[in-house]
Chains A and B, each alone.
Chain A
Amino acid sequence: MNAEPVRAGSVRAGKATGDVPPVHPLWLRLTHWLNALAVVLMVMSGWRIYNASPLFDFRFADEITLGGWLAGAILWHFAAMWLLVVNGVLYLSINTATGRLWRRFFPLSPRGFVADLKAAFHGRLSHADPRRYNTVQRAAYLFVILDLVLLVVSGLVLWKSVQFPLLRELMGGYEAARYVHFFTMAALVGFVAIHVAMALLVPRSLLHMIRGR
């Protein structure tokens, strides 16, 4: 149930170790790292744009921003957005079409989530089968997918608020969309921090995401 069926594309990749397919197929690894690049560029340039007119009583240090000044940051932001969106659509399409999305992320029960969270805090969460995501992972990855979708939609409202009246009203207007964009960014950054920490705690998972096995 949890093992991925061997498909034409993965047989060749699995040659070195017999017929075992890679933990993560090539397309997934590619979209993952392109997404990582896009997110870093978007967040760093976005912080510079935030600094031009801060929503809250703080600014991001210039050293962790991208673009040099407002126009440069906007150029980066509106260039990297194409990478983020095209790559994201590609990821979601392939993930849905191959059925991987359902195999990997479901079922998703609250009970399983609590149990796995407890196990994680006691250091008892098994990573024996890298093909199987525990419930906390499933919830976290689904959360960040939805967060990114909301981040992109709120960004679309900020970019073209007149041209997308329905989206603008769903966000609660232009000013509200700024807050949605900020908080979805904050949630994304929070996810990345935990995600990177977890990957470093289980270095094998990082190798899986780079080499596929």
Chain B
Amino acid sequence: MNDRQKRMCEMEMGPEQPDRRRFLRGSLALGALPLLGGCSVSDEPIVEKALLQVSRFNDRVQAWLFDPEQLAPTYPESMITRPFPFNAYYSLDKVPQIDGERFRLQVGGRVADQRPWSLAELRTLPQADQVTRLICVEGWSAIGKWGGVRFSDFLERIGADLEAQYVGFRCADGYYTSIDMPTALHPQTLLTLTFDGQVLPARYGFPLKLRMPTKLGYKNPKHVEALFVTNRYPGGYWEDRGYNWFGGS
């Protein structure tokens, strides 16, 4: 991704985001009104509601299409995108700086062992790494190498209810998201501690990032400080603003 594209990303994902429930404002006035003819501006919420219902339907279709055995392609290290793009809804200077010594991962919800985890403890668990393509919802993609604990191992270790529907995440930068349990248990889903063989840099999500090559970029939370297992739909930062919840790739 070059600088021009990066600017585009910041424009679309930038600070001037419309509020939830108003994300379609402008779209109908500009594009659809001439098409929808008799559809007045007061019908906007109806169109919006219909589109969100289709999006929920698309969540179900994607869950049905999701094959837990199907692996995302992996690449040789020579194909890693350098420099790997930074992407967030804030600029690089706003990236949270976290004290790794004092950090504890909070674990909650439907899990038997709720004691928090230090980074040192997470590093003692079996580690894996893989080189995969991160696909952004904007269309660009980049190949990176992430390493850490296989998330299914971790969920088993903490005695999570693996029949529960969702795993939710809260992050140090205010971001939050949630995923379906089949994706959480996918063999390529990693709770990562490293990027490119180094301790995860702050811009890529120090101290912890959940990395899923089967999901779009915005579903891969950085700076994870708490996770919980639940049957109640937890939503997400972008998802609550209109992005598709399943966000599979």
- The interface residues of chain B lying within 8 Å CB-to-CB of A65 are 30-31
Query: What does the 1/0 interface line of A129-162 toward B look like (CB < 8 Å)?
Result: 0000000000000000000000000000011111
If the complex has contacts A68-B23, A75-B51, A78-B55, are A54 and B8 also in contact, measured as CB distance less than 8 A?
Answer: yes
- The interface residues of chain B lying within 8 Å CB-to-CB of A158 are 139
Q: Which of A45-53, A86-94, A186-194 contacts B (4 or more CB under 8 A)?
A: A45-53
* Shortest Cβ gap from B49 to chain A (Å): 11
Residues of chain B in range 119-135 having any CB-CB distance to chain A below 8 Å: 133, 135
Please determine whether A71 and B23 come into contact, CB atoms closer than 8 angstroms: yes
- The interface residues of chain B lying within 8 Å CB-to-CB of A174 are 133, 135, 141
Please determine whether A67 and B31 come into contact, CB atoms closer than 8 angstroms: yes
- The interface residues of chain A lying within 8 Å CB-to-CB of B67 are 163
Please determine whether A165 and B70 come into contact, CB atoms closer than 8 angstroms: yes
In the docked arrangement, what's the CA distance between A79 and B61, Å?
A: 12
Partner of B54, one of A37, A75, A175: A75
In the docked arrangement, what's the CA distance between A67 and B51, Å?
A: 11
In the docked arrangement, what's the CA distance between A161 and B136, Å?
A: 12
In the docked arrangement, what's the CA distance between A161 and B31, Å?
A: 29
Residue A209 lies at the interface, judged by CB distance under 8 Å to chain B: no
Q: Which of B165-173, B202-210, B238-246 contacts A (4 or more CB under 8 A)?
A: B238-246
Please determine whether A37 and B70 come into contact, CB atoms closer than 8 angstroms: no
- The interface residues of chain A lying within 8 Å CB-to-CB of B13 are 70
* Shortest Cβ gap from B95 to chain A (Å): 21
Q: Which residue on B lies nearest to A65, using beta carbons?
A: B31
- The interface residues of chain B lying within 8 Å CB-to-CB of A44 are 31
Please determine whether B30 and A71 come into contact, CB atoms closer than 8 angstroms: no
Residue A171 lies at the interface, judged by CB distance under 8 Å to chain B: no
If the complex has contacts A160-B249, A163-B67, A165-B73, are A70 and B35 also in contact, measured as CB distance less than 8 A?
Answer: no
Partner of A62, one of B25, B30, B73, B213: B30
* Shortest Cβ gap from A169 to chain B (Å): 9
Please determine whether B9 and A53 come into contact, CB atoms closer than 8 angstroms: yes
Residues of chain B in range 19-40 having any CB-CB distance to chain A below 8 Å: 23-28, 30-32, 35
- The interface residues of chain A lying within 8 Å CB-to-CB of B73 are 162, 165, 168
What are 17 A-B pairs at a CB distance below 8 A?
A40-B35, A51-B8, A53-B5, A53-B8, A53-B140, A54-B8, A62-B30, A68-B23, A69-B27, A74-B137, A75-B51, A158-B139, A160-B249, A162-B70, A162-B72, A163-B70, A174-B135
- The 10 A-B pairs with the shortest beta carbon distances in the complex, nearest first, are A68-B27, A71-B242, A66-B31, A52-B138, A68-B26, A79-B54, A53-B139, A53-B138, A75-B51, A53-B140
